[in-house]
Amino acid sequence: MPKYRKKPVMIEAFQWTGDREQTEDPKWINKAVEEGKVYFINANTDKVHMAIETLEGEMYARRGDFIIQGVNGEIYPCKPDIFEKTYDLVE
């Protein structure tokens, strides 16, 4: 059986806290919110979730999840443990 290695790609990402005071929101997530591609469920509560329209359908992020913008501008959530195994910080 052939094996494959994932090609190295550069992505942008941030860890979503779910707090209104979060100051590290990149422009691309703010634009997606303005366009209605990203919205919040149970906003201003402890049970807030981020809903993200993706090519595979709607996905949800919880506090602490990473929000990624991929190579083609797509946005999707990633659990912290998977993010840490998959990505390295580029300085």
Report the distance separating Cα 71 and Cα 69, nearest Å.
Answer: 7
Q: Are strands 66-69 and 75-78 parallel, antiparallel or unpaired?
A: antiparallel
Give per-10-residue mean pLDDT for the chain (91 aa): 86 90 85 95 91 95 96 95 92 78
DSSP letter assigned to residue 58: E
User: What is the model's pLDDT at position 36?
Assistant: 96
pTM above 0.85, yes or no: yes
Helix ranges, 1-91 (H): 27-34, 80-86
Give the Å distances, CA to CA, from 59 to 5, 54, 77.
26, 7, 7
* Domain positions in the chain: 12-86
